[in-house]
Structure 1
Amino acid sequence: MVRQANIDASHLPALSVPRFVGRTRELLALGEALGQPPVVILLEGEAGIGKTRLLREFLAAPSEGERRALVGACPPLREPYTLGAVVDAVREGVGNGSDLRLSGLGGALRPLFPEWAANLPPAPEPLEDATAARHRLFRAFVELLSRLDVAVLALEDVHWADEATLEFLLFLVSRRPQPVSVVLTYRPEEVPPDSLLLRLSSRLPADAHLVRLTLKPLGVGETATFVSSMLAEEHVSAEFASFLHARTEGVPLALEESVRLLHARADLIRQDGGWARRRLDHIEVPPTIRDAVLERVGRLRPDTRTVLHAAAVLAEPADYAILTAVTGLPEDRAMAQVADVVGCGLLREDERGQWSFRHSLACRAVYEAIPVQERRLMHRRAGQALENTALPPVAQLARHFREAGDAEASCRYAERAADLSTQSGDVVTSALLLHNLVTAVALPVEPLVRLVAKIHFQSLPGFDPYSKIIESLRTALHAQVLTPEQAALVRFQLGRVLMVAGAMEAGRIEIAEAVAHLAPDSLEAARARIFLAIPLADARPAAEHLRWLREAPAVAPSIAPHERLRLFLERAFALIMLGEEAGWVEARQFPEDPASAREAVLVAIGQTNVGEAAMRWGRYDEARARLAKALALVEKHELLGHAGSVASTQAHLDWFTGAWSGLADRVAALLDDDGVRLKDRAEAALVAGLIHAAAGDRERAEERLRLAGHDDQQRVEAAAALAQLHLHDGNVDEALRLTDEPAEIAVRSGVWPRATEVAPVRVAALVAAGQLDGATDLVTAFERAMGDKDAPAPQASLVVCRAILAEADGQFARAAALFARAAAAWQALPRPYDALLARERHARCLIAVGQHDVGRSALSEVSRALSDLGAHNDTDRVARSLHERGCETRVTRGRGRPSYGNQLSPRELEVARLLVGGRTNRQIADALVVSTQTVASQLKSAMRKLRVPSRTALAIRVVELGLVGEQGQPPAVDE
């Protein structure tokens, strides 16, 4: 089963109403125009552009003089009622209609305002001439507006206005003097050619004051500000802003609805100190946008809709010939519809004569509404038309033939497009093209296997790029009649993908079943043996893993150079993991300057893997150098998908070597970044768990260590750390249970590079359980497997194991000498934390043999050094031990992070003070000269400690507890 990361929407911020952004110029123009009444203002713009928001923001703003405004809207009713928008505006702005003091003319208003009957004059005599009756009604309305002292009459969406309303507006603005200023909002593309609305601008009196304002979409920068305002004013990544802008064209309503949809789907993530998106190909069409687009499309003639359908199927800008070919309409009919399509405002023609949708969300809404059979037929026409162009767009052809159900053509073009992308270094596009093909089309075995082999999974976006591939391979394995050789190829790919996905044992089983039927000199046969040689999954003897490498046959000369390189890199890694010095000889031959982007990816992965293996051997300088080379390749070739691997392994190395300053924040950033692979987040979780354990935060330590245990590479060390926590609690049975399988994997099987962390804990648990013989056997197996290998960390671990046995046997002098030797070995690496723990045990053994003064002095030194490092849980333990022996200690907190339990730390209090003062994360970060990620981490920690769900609740709780003193200052804290 492939593990998937959980999407937890509760960690996302509550969304706010977006701030009014990017309309300063229009707001000033509106104010300037209305400052010179009377005026007619035509405020135009497409749906969702912000016409209503602009009007409401202006009317809500304080003004120098009293400016009474009535606002109404024209709903899109099939049969609008007479003067409905004007009636609603008056009713909303007036109330009960008392004290109007209208002349007898006001009685004409009775049919429209029956609730005002008691305040209106009697109804006038009916008129037989409808035109005269309407004129009388209009005059009554003008008198009403005059009595109400209205300065502005604003009607929205007048493209939907009934004829009577439009006639009244013409009547109103033609009066001299014009009684009120008029503001009308509308969508130009929705105005019918014969609408009376057009006369407002074309036939106004010569002395009329007309102002036309056109709202444009927001720019990318304004988009970022708009989205940030919805996310508590926190930073929004440039990539996220550009992504949203490209798909919404900066239309505010589309932006807001898209962000809300991303939020609802938990597709917002924290990354690089701000908000970003998960790596999505597209965003779903918000229902509000979809319904508005489809309502407009539904009013068009069938042939016009066909042209829109063709444009939606193409999705990319296309010339007239391609567009008409996809419609399937005769040329004369297609030509007649193009003008109508442009007039409806959904399509546009650029300067090159290319036609496309104005907004990608509108395109997607139309596309999803096309009947399936029509859509398939149009995709086939699109593929056939594009095949005949001078430079066929292979990626588009792959998509069209895939959607048309033509597997052979789709496969051919997708592979060509993926190869072109890989050659240009764009492995992300290549991986997406191939992934989409093999998961959407039922392919024959040969192309399926070939294409899956080309997919670079680390470059695929999303939490789980594996499940659909695994499903496709399993379907091919069971639904098709295959020869043994074909089945073996499918099983090999299935096993490979399972292992990459983290299902190591399931993958190993598939590959082991396949290997006997793979062609002996094939690439698959060679890689299968390497996969079986890498000592992951369930425990197997190291000799069995090595046998797979020794039995690997020579590959055929036809194997591509980059595949030969891959085999070489993977073989070296397998040898080092198995504890073979020969692996280091091969690792020294890794190319320093790969010949291509494809080879750079392989070498970056190889250097990172060897860096991690070097760390397990205790060759920390080697590990640091390998990681530096991997990072250089990542940066040079922009291999962003691999940055998380380097960062997580570097954090692991920094934990071992005592470079703890800022380490907690770095691993927290990796854990919060969903762009980082689950495997790498597991390594970051391991480091975070170790940090929490050293600081005394038991609950968070267990949470992180259990997460780390989901990854095969980290599970042995995670189990050892969890077992150590239970040993400190005296829970020996749980410590034994946790270390049983890891000890079998790392020690009994002879894969000693994985034994460094688990062996001492397992030995200590066996000793605590009274199983001294079992502990002795384990140490003997560890020593026999490792021999005299140049592996400083496992060798130091072995000395610790011997010291634990000597101490358990009552040989305290010998145990003291062994712990001192282990401490020196750890310090030489350097690995200061383990050195101090060994020195602590050395001091306790000295006290046990009667050297009380020397032992207590040594414990005092260890306590101070642990505090300086930041291991305050251990500091407190040693301090308690000294206190029990009558020694008073005063430890000054050093450069590490103190443990405050459920109390807020001084920095958390400082952040809370600024939060109470109303500052955003960015403002807090600027004030404290830290990153916004650090601020977010501290706020999250404070919310967890005080058990509140949000920033607002945190601010309230901090004030309630009196944690913020006068003028918002935190009370002094005695460290």
Structure 2
Amino acid sequence: MRPSRMVNRSDANSLPISTPHFVGRDRELNALRAAVSRRPAIVLVEGEAGIGKSRLLQEWIAGEQALTALVSVCPPLRESLTLGPIVDAFRGIDRLVAGLRLTDLAGALRPLFPEWSGDLPPALEPLEDAKAARHRLFRALDELLRALGVDVLVLEDAHWADEVTLEFLLFLTSRQRADGPSLVISYRPEEVDAGSLLLRLTSRLPVGVTGSRIALASVAPDDTASLVSSMLGGEPISHEFRSFLHERTGGIPLAIEESVRLMCDRADIVFRDGQWVRLALTELQVPPTVRDSTRERVDRLSPAAQQTLRAAAVLAEWSSEAAIAGTAGLTPEDARAGIAEAADARILSGDDRGRWRFRHVLVATAVYEAVARTDRALLHRRAGEALESVDPQPVARLAHHFREAGVTAPWARYAEQAAAQALASGDNTTAVVVLVDLLSETALPPADLARIARTTGLAALGRREPVDEVYHRVVRGLRAVLDGPGLSAREQAEIRNPLGRLLITGGEAAAARVELERAVTDLGHDPAEAAKAMTYLGWAYGSPWPASTHRRWLRRAADLAAGIESPAVRLNLTGNRAAAFLMLGDDEAWDVVAGLPFDGATAPERLDVARIHTNIGTGAVMWGRYADAERHLAVALRLADAEESSRLLFNVQLELANLDWFRGRWEGLAERSAALAEANADRPAIHLAGVRLIARLAAAAGRRREAEEQFRFVLDEATRLGAADDAMEPAAELARLWRADGDIPRALQITDAPLRTIRGKGIWLWATDVAPVRVEALLAAGEAEAARALTEEFARGLRGHTAPAPRAGLALCRAHVAAAGDDPARAASAYARAAQAWEALPRPYDALRAREGQAIALLAADRVAEGRQMLSVQYEELFRLGARGDADRVAQRLRDHGADVPRLWRGGRKGYGDRLSPRELEVVRLVVAGRTNRQISEILAKSPATVDQQLRSAMRKAEVTSRTALAVKVTEAGMLEDDDSGVTLS
């Protein structure tokens, strides 16, 4: 038996603590080797913090001496430098650039590598288009990779990568060839958003590219024992110690390692009876997190080492001894001694370039969070001052440090430089995030604030993300600058212009119109921007102006556009003008549309052409020109898909879904509508349109309560947002529901405001759905003269306009008026004409409902057999279409007239039915947790209206009328214990 060897605190340094062996990862290591051997390959290594991703890559690289690998790590900066990880990877190469065979394209690399300027080709001419500049830069980087003969590009901690870096990786993926580099990328899945570009790296692999995803899990209890044993001289550990340590650390290698080091520092372990055991297992507490263990370990170091670690934590990246010394406020000698002590304690690690950083990010975070906030500001200021001497200056890091230090002037200076670099690479989001916090800095001179606000607003317009928290921060920031003192009229206009266009993106039409109208008078110095603002003012929504005012703005924009040299700007203005004229119902729009291109020479041009054709398709749907709509939407779909613009694809998919509704292609439409509504919860216009589709289907299926709730939600939100055109259909459908209930006053009241809008603006294209139901309600109220007057007013409003859909609506109004007369035969003919008009579009659902009116008129004319026959046909066709509610109504009419009703097969109901959707489930969970609607809105990044709508939908499905009752019911149903969505609440 071996003697017992106690370790006390005074003798702690004598304990044989070693770097742990690489254990429990043989399968993953073999998988990584096998994947990379099949070049070209894309390998994603995923796992939570501390799980061992970096160690796996280190072991693999150490065993692959024949491979040329570039390795970089993404720093955890709040605003990452555009392409910073890629640039750092190249700066680590030993081979001289001067000897490489590079084409003139490599001149695009000069801004990224100013230290190589003597060895690179001459700088290229700047490109105005940010996306084109980014694509050229990507090609140059790819050329450099191949010239260097790089076999593998390794990127660690890609969850912190800037968007342009991820786009470059996707670019490499699309160009993978047998001689191209493989990609090995590590990241934390829990820190990657669902829509991140990172997750698309292996979703669409080119032919011949090997894709592999290696997920690291916690190590097993036996591997925990092996890892600890390797740190303690190879001696075994007790079963109790192993179980205790594995349970408390969750099998996370980093947590295991740090906990062991802490226990050794505290002399909490003893070697007894041939194995390591822990003293007082039930009494002494092992820190459950790396944070606790790290803080205690750091406290045992000398003051100089502790200050060095605080500086390294603030710097957050590989940093030189000089930078650490300057940040820590230490002499070079003291800093060097502190670094050496921290390195000996296995907290810092160095590279062959004399730089240092924390071995683990979690440890760095623990140290940083332990620094008092007042001390953090001082350390960040020192870090910024230390990094100012670096050449080239790391402007994103400098902006970050001076921001955290609260030193406004250098923060603003470096933030603008970092934003300019990001914009040059086409990374608008990074530029916006770097700048937006400056907008609330009243310490800046007004002229500086105005310049920064204008840059921020224009950069935000180029973002591809939907309406998110960044969008809201920009809007708040721009408004704050406008509310401040000292801005000239021109400066205000240059801020209001992008603000107005952003508000259009956010669905705030009325507010957008106010900003643009105030901006346009002071934009004379910039004809292109003035013309854009005028074109937006030409759109008919969001203002009480008559159509003539919108037309005047559009013609002013056209006059300005004629003198603009840029073909891209002229195309943008022409496309927007055509769509605006379509919304006004003006036939001249189609002459403009005929001259639009169907493709573009560059990616930005293709995206603009796709957006234009989406808008034309939307207008064509409103007109009832469905063949034209399908053609334009097909162009938009092709281009948006080719450019991988998910945001634009949602717009196109929504209009295609609308088109399918009108044309009677309802199969699978419920699922598509629900998916569109949920995927665009933070894009008001798209979300409301998706909900409107859901409501249409619910109304047709006879789910009256659901339809009413959804239409009410859409109407309220459209009214709040100032989207007058979007308020027409929900008001008409609510009136139809209430008229069917016999609530005529309510049906008339809900159509008052839409009709006032149509009359005030003179846009009778919008009356397609509202006018017929209003006429019906007036007739039911005994106001036949008012019904006839409205019908004639509708007819006058359509003179000179050829849109087929409103003309079919007019035919239906005339049929309703005829039905109220004394000649049922005349009414039957009028309904037949209305049905034919709908059929010509084709719009079968409306045609079937018009045929129902025709059949009723035939019955009233004593043409009973003919009327019953027609009703039988309508019953079967409505049923097969999916309009079960209408079919049931027709069936009852048949029974009332003594006819037999055939029994048709009824399939299952589409959509979620009485089950909660995934988005509703999110809201309900937070309700049960006691959150208010406002808190839920903030947590889920949804608008309060969306939360309210989803909560009301959940309450309807649960058949309860209060939040408390809902919480009780879902808890009793056991839903909160089930990860699956779609739990039935009955």
- With the shorter chain as reference, the TM-score category is 0.5 to 0.7
Indicate whether 1:660 and 2:760 are aligned: no
CA change 1:897–1:548 in 2 (3 A) is: same
* Alpha carbons 2:467, 2:505 under 8 Å: kept: no
Within 2, Cα distance between the matches of 1:345 and 1:556? Answer: 68
Indicate whether 1:732 and 2:744 are aligned: yes
Indicate whether 1:527 and 2:539 are aligned: no
Tell me how far 1:781 sits from its aligned partner: 3.1
Residues 352-391 of structure 1 aligned to structure 2 (within 5 Å): 354-360=355-361, 363-364=364-365, 366-367=367-368, 370-372=371-373, 374-383=375-384, 385-386=386-387, 388-391=389-392
Residues 760-771 of structure 1 aligned to structure 2 (within 5 Å): 760-771=772-783
Q: Which amino acid is the alignment partner of residue 52 of structure 1? A: R
Counting aligned pairs with the same residue, the percent is 37
Indicate whether 1:953 and 2:965 are aligned: no
* Alpha carbons 1:604, 1:633 under 8 Å: kept: yes
Q: How many residues align?
A: 706
Of the three residues 466, 477, 490, the one matched with 1:485 is: 490
CA change 1:428–1:446 in 2 (3 A) is: closer
Tell me how far 1:889 sits from its aligned partner: 0.7
Residues 400-479 of structure 1 aligned to structure 2 (within 5 Å): 400-405=401-406, 410-411=411-412, 413-415=414-416, 417-418=418-419, 420-422=421-423, 424-438=425-439, 443-456=448-461, 459-460=464-465, 463-479=468-484
Tell me how far 1:874 sits from its aligned partner: 0.8
* Alpha carbons 1:313, 1:378 under 8 Å: kept: yes
Within 1, Cα distance between the matches of 2:823 and 2:279? Answer: 92
Indicate whether 1:22 and 2:217 are aligned: yes
Within 2, Cα distance between the matches of 1:558 and 1:381? Answer: 49
Q: Which amino acid is the alignment partner of residue 484 of structure 2? A: A
Comparing 476-485 with 453-462, which one deviates more in the overlay? 453-462
* Alpha carbons 2:323, 2:387 under 8 Å: kept: yes
Indicate whether 1:536 and 2:541 are aligned: yes
Q: Which amino acid is the alignment partner of residue 694 of structure 1? A: A
CA change 1:781–1:182 in 2 (3 A) is: same
* Alpha carbons 2:461, 2:501 under 8 Å: kept: no
Indicate whether 1:806 and 2:909 are aligned: no
Q: Which amino acid is the alignment partner of residue 217 of structure 2? A: G
1:873 corresponds in structure 2 to 885
* Alpha carbons 1:816, 1:841 under 8 Å: kept: yes
2:273 corresponds in structure 1 to 173
Within 1, Cα distance between the matches of 2:838 and 2:630? Answer: 17
CA deviation profile, 1:758-788 (whole Å, cap 9, x unmatched): 2222222222233333333333333223325
Residues 600-679 of structure 1 aligned to structure 2 (within 5 Å): 600-673=606-679, 677-679=683-685
Secondary structure at the counterpart of residue 560 of structure 2: coil
* Alpha carbons 1:619, 1:791 under 8 Å: kept: yes
Q: Which amino acid is the alignment partner of residue 610 of structure 1? A: I
Q: Which amino acid is the alignment partner of residue 524 of structure 2? A: A
Q: Which amino acid is the alignment partner of residue 472 of structure 1? A: G
Tell me how far 1:465 sits from its aligned partner: 3.9
Within 2, Cα distance between the matches of 1:856 and 1:741? Answer: 38
Comparing 780-789 with 414-423, which one deviates more in the overlay? 414-423
Of the three residues 828, 837, 842, the one matched with 1:825 is: 837
Indicate whether 1:495 and 2:495 are aligned: no
Within 1, Cα distance between the matches of 2:744 and 2:827? Answer: 22
* Alpha carbons 1:431, 1:459 under 8 Å: kept: no
* Alpha carbons 2:224, 2:246 under 8 Å: kept: no
In angstroms, what is the RMSD of aligned CA positions? 4.7
**5+ long unaligned stretches in structure 1:** 1-19, 57-72, 77-155, 175-180, 192-196, 198-251, 254-287, 905-935, 958-962, 964-969, 971-975
2:263 corresponds in structure 1 to 160
Within 2, Cα distance between the matches of 1:45 and 1:560? Answer: 73
* Alpha carbons 2:262, 2:297 under 8 Å: kept: no
Within 1, Cα distance between the matches of 2:767 and 2:395? Answer: 51
CA change 1:474–1:291 in 2 (3 A) is: farther
Tell me how far 1:184 sits from its aligned partner: 5.5
Indicate whether 1:689 and 2:690 are aligned: no
Tell me how far 1:377 sits from its aligned partner: 4.6
2:311 corresponds in structure 1 to 310
Residues 83-162 of structure 1 aligned to structure 2 (within 5 Å): 159-160=262-263
Tell me how far 1:744 sits from its aligned partner: 2.5
2:854 corresponds in structure 1 to 842
Within 2, Cα distance between the matches of 1:478 and 1:950? Answer: 48
Secondary structure at the counterpart of residue 451 of structure 2: helix
Tell me how far 1:497 sits from its aligned partner: 3.3
Tell me how far 1:728 sits from its aligned partner: 1.4
* Alpha carbons 1:539, 1:744 under 8 Å: kept: no
Within 2, Cα distance between the matches of 1:324 and 1:559? Answer: 55
* Alpha carbons 2:224, 2:251 under 8 Å: kept: no
CA deviation profile, 1:854-884 (whole Å, cap 9, x unmatched): 1111111111111101111111111111112
CA change 1:903–1:635 in 2 (3 A) is: closer
Secondary structure at the counterpart of residue 804 of structure 1: helix
CA deviation profile, 1:363-392 (whole Å, cap 9, x unmatched): 455445545554445445544555554554
Tell me how far 1:594 sits from its aligned partner: 3.1
2:236 corresponds in structure 1 to 40
Q: Which amino acid is the alignment partner of residue 868 of structure 1? A: R
Tell me how far 1:736 sits from its aligned partner: 1.8
Within 1, Cα distance between the matches of 2:339 and 2:687? Answer: 52
* Alpha carbons 1:943, 1:949 under 8 Å: kept: no
Q: Which amino acid is the alignment partner of residue 312 of structure 1? A: A
Within 1, Cα distance between the matches of 2:265 and 2:519? Answer: 74
Comparing 708-717 with 851-860, which one deviates more in the overlay? 708-717
Tell me how far 1:720 sits from its aligned partner: 1.7
Secondary structure at the counterpart of residue 770 of structure 1: coil
CA change 1:650–1:386 in 2 (3 A) is: farther
CA change 1:431–1:901 in 2 (3 A) is: closer
Within 1, Cα distance between the matches of 2:635 and 2:501? Answer: 27
Secondary structure at the counterpart of residue 517 of structure 1: coil
Within 2, Cα distance between the matches of 1:53 and 1:662? Answer: 48
Indicate whether 1:516 and 2:517 are aligned: no
CA change 1:370–1:830 in 2 (3 A) is: farther
CA change 1:634–1:380 in 2 (3 A) is: farther
CA change 1:293–1:161 in 2 (3 A) is: closer
Q: Which amino acid is the alignment partner of residue 821 of structure 1? A: R
Within 1, Cα distance between the matches of 2:566 and 2:364? Answer: 42
Secondary structure at the counterpart of residue 598 of structure 2: coil
* Alpha carbons 1:449, 1:490 under 8 Å: kept: yes
Within 2, Cα distance between the matches of 1:772 and 1:356? Answer: 83
Secondary structure at the counterpart of residue 459 of structure 1: coil
1:132 corresponds in structure 2 to none
Tell me how far 1:890 sits from its aligned partner: 2.4
Secondary structure at the counterpart of residue 970 of structure 2: coil
Indicate whether 1:573 and 2:676 are aligned: no
Tell me how far 1:649 sits from its aligned partner: 2.4
2:933 corresponds in structure 1 to none
* Alpha carbons 1:815, 1:842 under 8 Å: kept: yes
Comparing 415-424 with 469-478, which one deviates more in the overlay? 415-424
Secondary structure at the counterpart of residue 853 of structure 1: helix
Q: Which amino acid is the alignment partner of residue 631 of structure 1? A: L
CA change 1:851–1:534 in 2 (3 A) is: same
Within 1, Cα distance between the matches of 2:686 and 2:241? Answer: 48
* Alpha carbons 1:799, 1:818 under 8 Å: kept: yes
Q: Which amino acid is the alignment partner of residue 873 of structure 1? A: G
Tell me how far 1:457 sits from its aligned partner: 6.9
Within 2, Cα distance between the matches of 1:479 and 1:662? Answer: 52
Indicate whether 1:793 and 2:799 are aligned: no
* Alpha carbons 1:863, 1:891 under 8 Å: kept: no
* Alpha carbons 2:311, 2:327 under 8 Å: kept: yes
Within 2, Cα distance between the matches of 1:596 and 1:413? Answer: 31
**5+ long unaligned stretches in structure 2:** 1-214, 917-949, 961-965, 979-983
Tell me how far 1:602 sits from its aligned partner: 3.1
TM-score for both structures, normalised by structure 1: 0.63
2:827 corresponds in structure 1 to 815
